[in-house]
Chains A and B, each alone.
Chain A
Amino acid sequence: MHLQKQERGSVLIWTIILLAILSLLGAEVMHVVSAKYVNAVQSAIWQESLVGAESGIDLAVIELRKSLYPAPNHAWETWQNSPSDGVVSHGLVTIPNAGLAGAAMKIEVSVDAPATLIDPKNGWQYYRIRTIGTLPLNGPARANDNKQDTRLRRLSLFADRFVAGPTPPDFVAHASRRTEAIVRPVSSFDAAIMSVGVLDLTNQDIVIDSYDSRDPAKSTNGLYDVAKRQQNGDIATDGNLIDAGNAHIYGDVATNAGTVSGAANITGIERTDFYQEPIPVGAPNWSSINPTPALVNNSATLTASAVQGSWSSRYMLSLVSLGGNQTLTLAGNPDGSPTYIEIYVTGDISVLGTSQIVMQPGVKATIYFAGNVDITGNGIVNSNNQPGDLQLYGIQPTSGTPHVNLGGNGQITAAVYAPGYAVAVNGGGSNGHVFGSMVGKTVTMTGVTNLHYDEALGSGGLINNYKIVSWFEDTR
């Protein structure tokens, strides 16, 4: 009996020891698993907070784009103010989160416009966008078991690392990430051809390439030189169809999830992820103008001014209708020094037959139009031979699709931005050359042999968008 009792006790002790070992093992497993689980959750929240920070950049760019639209554009309405030099616009957005137990994501955005970020060449303002994305930590406010994880994620467990001073009583442990982006304006003439809808180059052996009139290595005396041809003659559509017509395109081709037919001679890449809503052009809002003439239907002279934006060189015409040998002269200074002229044509522009619009040397013209445009071959003489010196903007139509027809066996040196218009470049022949850029609701080129995009246009004209040129995550 005594021996049997001792045997039972031994079994009990061994069982307890075994259970203790297994319990220790289980506790250690739980400890490891728990630490890794907390690490995984914290890592996920830390990743999500970057999404919040980058969304803040998008929010700021949206406001910047709004500011480009004709008034009233409601830009910066829910923000503290409009950004400028030394003035920071601040916005705070809190959005529900589908994941992470519905924890709300906080996005703080600050935008300013430092004077040091003004491009001296064209006066364009670059903007600085600073954002902080924040998400509360769902799990316990526990530091990671590895100090490198702690250094990487810099979680705010007991105090906000971006806010100095005492911790508020309602402080919640969270993950925050901070980014800084610089955005620069993008010209409305950022590509050789941009179309909202169909872009049709037909099948006429068209050549599209580029040059840079500012760079002697990419042009000769500021003019196109085939020996210095560049490969930035990009064409793009917000639609899904480009008929390249086997054109020789020295550049990239981009659609919005679409297809490119006749793409045998494209030197660049084909993208399908393109979309850029063109900013509509509103009617000029000039406080004063030169009242005469009120229209042009015969030979006439409009005088440019050495002062850009001067009332004396701002004209509002109900129409321009030229035929026969009639000439509309845009007169500048006799010495060819730079002069500026702005013309708003509320009706149609028609330059037919052998009539011409002649820009004298040094004249830089901006023409806004609200009606149809028909200009035959060699109908515009741009004496400077710089497409940036003749910019044509189509006022966004309220209904219908007016047209812009440029035609004939001759040269056209101009930049056309008419995203509400059907733009067609017709005619062609051995002397058919277009120097500049075309933006239209649809763009069709028929029989034109060459389009040469001047890359200098990319730093002029109306601002059509903002592009991130610098991005940095501030990990302090």
Chain B
Amino acid sequence: MKHSGRGKIRTSGAFAASEVMIALTLFSSVCAGLFMASTSLQRCFAATTDFAVNHADQMRISDYLAMDLRRAVSVTAAQNDVTIQIPAYYDPSGNPQTPTLDGVGGVHYGPAGTVVAVHYYLSASSIFRQQGSDPAAALAMNVQDFIFNVTDSGKVVSTRITFNPIFRSGGASTAAIAATAVYNTTLLRNSRRDMVSGVY
């Protein structure tokens, strides 16, 4: 009885060190798995959210560029830096001006030769749009990885905007970055003043 009773106490009263170690190992593995799954899920979620936000930013920048390109009379393009000149349609009060003939088959708003420059540029991880002397407005923030290119083909101007997706911790591959490209091809409605065109 005494022997068997002592044996029962040992069995139910404590675990052997090896049992504790095994339990801890299993528990750690499960916790690690949960932690990794949770982290992965969060990173995936963050990357997806980032992708969606970046895509919305791309669309916005592309639409802004297209809007100004449609009414452009000249375009000066470089990577992440584009200047588009548009007619001086508004007077200083912001109201439309009456057009006048320029004597060579066209019209102009305001004094002859007056245009308004719209400048798009990437600075301090934001992409800005500045119209004339107005304060620059940030079209998109935290977009230091954005690249916007404008290809000037004369009557037609194309834009291409890419960013770096963050689905992989090692950074996006060139192919992955290229796959984010949003393209826009815009027909310039006005005759350009910065180049001779015999067609349009």
Contact = CB atoms under 8 A, between A and B. Distances in A.
A430 B193 CA distance: 41
Given A25-B45, A116-B100, A472 B64 contact: no
A251 B198 contact: yes
Interface string B34-48: 000000010001001
Contacts of B59: 39, 43
A47 B70 CA distance: 13
Interface stretch (B21-29, B136-144, B158-166): B136-144
B90 to A, nearest CB: 8
Interface in A335-377: none
A34 to B, nearest CB: 11
A236 to B, nearest CB: 11
A398 interface: no
B60 A116 contact: no
Given A152-B63, A152-B67, A119 B139 contact: no
A470 B56 CA distance: 31
B101 A146 contact: no
A25 B41 contact: yes
Contact of A476 (B94, B105, B140): B94
Interface in A203-260: 231-232, 234, 251-252
Given A25-B41, A184-B105, A459-B105, A471 B60 contact: no
A148 interface: yes
A148 B58 CA distance: 12
Given A148-B137, A182-B99, A252-B198, A470 B94 contact: no
Nearest to A251: B198
Contacts of B195: none
Contacts of A475: 67
Interface in B161-200: 189-191, 198-199
B60 A469 contact: no
Contacts of A469: 105-107, 190-191
Contacts of B67: 152, 473, 475
Contacts of B52: 32-33, 36
Contacts of B139: 148
A117 B101 contact: yes
A46 B199 CA distance: 31
A70 B106 CA distance: 27
A474 interface: yes
B165 to A, nearest CB: 16
Interface in A120-162: 126, 128, 146, 148-149, 151-152
A231 B198 CA distance: 9
Contact of A271 (B60, B101, B140, B199): B199
Given A25-B41, A251-B198, A471-B70, A151 B137 contact: yes
A146 B52 CA distance: 13
A20 interface: no
Given A32-B49, A468-B189, A126 B199 contact: no
Contacts of A468: 189
Interface string B130-161: 00000001111000000000000000000000
B98 interface: yes
B131 to A, nearest CB: 10
A149 B107 contact: no
Given A152-B63, A470-B107, A116 B49 contact: no
B99 A128 contact: yes
A252 B86 CA distance: 28
A282 interface: no
Given A117-B107, A148-B137, A473 B71 contact: yes
Interface in A97-120: 114, 116-117, 119
Contacts of A459: 105
A48 interface: no
Interface in A36-72: 36, 39, 43, 46-47
Given A29-B45, A149-B56, A471 B99 contact: no
A180 interface: yes
Given A148-B140, A184-B105, A252 B191 contact: no
B33 interface: no
Given A182-B107, A471-B189, A474-B89, A43 B63 contact: yes
B103 to A, nearest CB: 8
A269 interface: yes
B87 A472 contact: yes
A268 B64 contact: no
Contacts of A46: 63
Give 4 closest A-B pairs by Cβ, nearest first: A471-B189, A470-B107, A182-B107, A469-B106
15 contacts: A36-B55, A116-B100, A117-B100, A148-B60, A149-B56, A152-B64, A184-B106, A251-B198, A271-B199, A470-B87, A471-B190, A472-B71, A472-B86, A472-B87, A474-B96
Given A117-B99, A117-B100, 12 more contacts: A36-B52, A128-B99, A152-B67, A184-B105, A184-B106, A184-B107, A232-B198, A234-B198, A271-B199, A469-B191, A471-B190, A472-B87
